[in-house]
Amino acid sequence: DIQMTQSPSSLSASVGDRVTITCRASQGISNYLAWFQQKPGKAPKSLIYAASNLQSGVPSKFSGSGSGTDFTLTISSLQPEDFATYYCQQYNSYPLTFGGGTKVEIK
Amino acid sequence: EVQLVESGGGLVQPGGSLRLSCAASGFTLSDQYMDWVRQAPGKGLEWVGRIRNKANTYTTEYAASVKGRFTISRDDSKNSLYLQMNSLRTEDTAVYYCARASGTRYSSSWHWYFDYWGQGTLVTVSS
C-alpha cells in the first residue's frame, strides 16, 4: 500500500498568512494526487485533483504542485473560512489512501 | 446540481448487518465510478471501496479491512449506490460518505478522482 504522510499535522496561522502543507507518498504516484478540505461536522470538499488542477468553483487562492512523491498545497492568503483540516489522497493505485490530515487553526 | 444523499445509518450490534444507500441526482450515474469513504470519530478519512461504471462492467475494489464483509452495488436505473455491511465490528463505527469519482485520461490510462461527496451517515457498532 502507498503511505501518504502530511506535514505538519497542525499549524496556527493568522488571517492573511500564506500557508503551505506538504504531502509525501511512500512511492511515486506521478501526479495522481488530490486535496480535500473538511470543516468540523461537515463532509470533505474536493479542492484539487491531478496535483494542481482546481475543482470547479474552488477559489484561486488555493494552489497545488508536485509530482512523483512530493506535493504541496498552498493557500495564498488565509481567510476565516479556510480554517479547517486538509487531507491529501493518492489515486494512483489501490487501495486508495489518504494522508493523516493537517489542521489549520487560528493564531 | 450534483447531489449525493446517504441514508441507512444507525446503531447495530457487533456481528450484525446494515445496508447504506446513496441517492444520486444531477448527473448520469451510469457514467461514473462511485466510492464509499468512512471516518471514525475524531480520526482521518479511510477509503472503503469502489464500484466502476457500466462501461467497466460494475467491477469492485475494496480496502483490506472490509473485504469479504462489505459489498458495494449500484442500481443506475434508480440512481442509487449501496453498501451492504455484514459481520460488523466495533471498529467499523464511523461516518460513511459516498463520493463520486470522475475520470481523466492520461496517456493510455484513465484515473479517477473524487469530485463530489455526500453529507455522510453515521454507523455505530456497539452492544
Paired residues of A104 in beta bridges: A11
What are the cell numbers at A11?
Answer: 499549524
* Yes or no, beta carbons of A98 and B113 under 8 Å apart: no
Sign of CA dihedral B112, A28, A39, A56: negative
What are the cell numbers at B90?
Answer: 466495533
By Cβ distance, the residue of A92, A95, A101 closest to B44 is A101
Give the pLDDT band of residue B105 (cuts 50, 70, 90): confident
* B81 close to B52: Cβ distance less than 8 angstroms: no
Chain A residues near any Cβ of chain B (below 8 Å): 30, 32, 34, 36, 38, 42-46, 49-50, 55-56, 87, 89, 91-92, 94-101
Question: Closest Cα to residue B4, out of B116, B121, B122?
Answer: B116
CA distance A100 to A17: 23
CA distance A30 to A51: 9
* Yes or no, beta carbons of A95 and B64 under 8 Å apart: yes
pLDDT in tens, B37-62: 999 999 999 999 999 999 999 999 99
Q: How many CB pairs under 8 A join A and B?
A: 63
pLDDT in tens, A9-22: 999 999 999 999 99
No. of H helices and E strands in chain B? Answer: 0, 11
How many CB atoms sit inside 10 A of residue A55's CB? 19
Give the pLDDT band of residue B96 (cuts 50, 70, 90): very high
Sign of CA dihedral A29, A34, A40, A42: negative
Is the confidence at residue A60, as pLDDT, over 80? yes
Distance from A44 to chain B by nearest Cα, in Å? Answer: 7
How many CB atoms sit inside 10 A of residue B87's CB? 13
pLDDT in tens, B67-89: 999 999 999 999 999 999 999 99
Which chain B residues touch A34 with a CB distance below 8 Å?
113-114
